[in-house]
Structure formats: structure tokens, C-alpha cells
């Protein structure tokens, strides 16, 4: 996303949810970054970073922690994928 683009309200909600998840991941040497949000399809794209990015359990972390919590916090999100 370029600096000139503004985030939709929904994308801002997703970013807020990510901010609440980051401390846990950071405590394990990782991090989580927002990439984009496809409002039409309800798909949030995120990037696991640091130790979480290369961890063999990254897909489980994404599905069972990150996706679950983002969908709980932002109900219009249908899916969270790595990007």
C-alpha cells in the first residue's frame, strides 16, 4: 500500500486487531504485520515476521491464533491468509 492511499474503516479494524496480537508473538521472537484487506471478499492478508516467519508451526499459528482472533474481533473478516 502506498503512503498516498488511505485505509478503509474495515482495514483499520483489522490493523487494530493485529496490534492486540503482536505482544504475544513478540514474546516468542516473532511479529505480525498487516499487508492488506480485500473488503469485497473479507480476506485479510498478514505477514508473520521474525522467528514466527520461519517457524515450522507458522501455518498453525496463523490459522489457530491469528485468524481466530482477528475473526472474533472483526466479524466481517472471513479469512486471514499469509502474504
Which tens digit of pLDDT belongs to each residue from 56-82? 999 999 999 999 999 999 999 999 999
In this predicted structure, what is the pLDDT of residue 5? 58
Band the pLDDT of 1: cuts 50, 70, 90.
Answer: very low
Task: Using alpha carbons, select from 79, 81, 61 the residue that is nearest to residue 21.
Answer: 61
Which tens digit of pLDDT belongs to each residue from 7-53? 799 999 999 999 999 999 999 999 999 999 999 999 999 999 999 98
In order of their start, the domains of the chain are: 9-82 (3.30.300.130)
**How many Å apart are CA 71 and CA 35, to the nearest integer?**
16
Amino acid at each position: 500500500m502506498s503512503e498516498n492511499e488511505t485505509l478503509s474503516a474495515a482495514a483499520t479494524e483489522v490493523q487494530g486487531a493485529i496490534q492486540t496480537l503482536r505482544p504475544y508473538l513478540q514474546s516468542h521472537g516473532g511479529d505480525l504485520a498487516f499487508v492488506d484487506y480485500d473488503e469485497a471478499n473479507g480476506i485479510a492478508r498478514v505477514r508473520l515476521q521474525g522467528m514466527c516467519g520461519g517457524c515450522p508451526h507458522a501455518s498453525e499459528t496463523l490459522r489457530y491464533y491469528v485468524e481466530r482472533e482477528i475473526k472474533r474481533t472483526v466479524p466481517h473478516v472471513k479469512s486471514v491468509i499469509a502474504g
